[in-house]
Structure 1
Amino acid sequence: MSLDARIQELQRKHDELDKEIEQAFTHPSTDDLDLADMKRKKLQMRDEIEQLKAAS
């Protein structure tokens, strides 16, 4: 997988996770630990995207 393709894939996953987080906020039954885990994964993806962009 090329670097650009990897960045695009991570960006797509990041956007999907962002939508999941937004939906979780609308449901009062959402577990706070699950929400925190989703946010952590989103931040990790963003960091990886930034690292890959800096390397290119």
Structure 2
Amino acid sequence: MMQQPRLRSLQQRHETLERQIAVEGARPQPDTGALGRLKRAKLRVKDEMEKLRVSR
């Protein structure tokens, strides 16, 4: 069950990235480079979470 703490950590990171994306997107002139980096990071975290779920 070593995967549970890792999965929980990834879920928290995913939520943090989601909030950061929302904050950046709400700015009058969002930084498209930063948004892209945040979205790619969020996707990597999501992929890793899915790998952990599948390997259970």
Shared fold by TM > 0.5?
yes
Map of 2:11 onto structure 1: 11
- Higher RCO, 1 vs 2 (CA within 8 Å, ≥6 residues apart): 1
Tell me how far apart the structure 2 counterparts of residues 31 and 39 of structure 1 sit (CA, whole Å). 12
1:24-45: CA deviation from partner (whole Å, max 9, x where unpaired): 1111233101100000000000
Q: Calculate the aligned-residue CA RMSD, in Å.
A: 0.8
Gaps of 5+ in 2: none
Name the SS of the counterpart of 2:50 in structure 1.
helix
CA apart distance, 1:50 = 0.2
Tell me how far apart the structure 2 counterparts of residues 28 and 38 of structure 1 sit (CA, whole Å). 18
Gaps of 5+ in 1: none
Aligned length: 55
TM-score, L = length of structure 1: 0.91
TM-score, L = length of structure 2: 0.91
Q: Percent identity?
A: 31
**AA partner of residue 48 (structure 1):** E
Comparing 27-36 with 10-19, which one deviates more in the overlay? 27-36
Runs of 4+ more than 4 Å apart? none
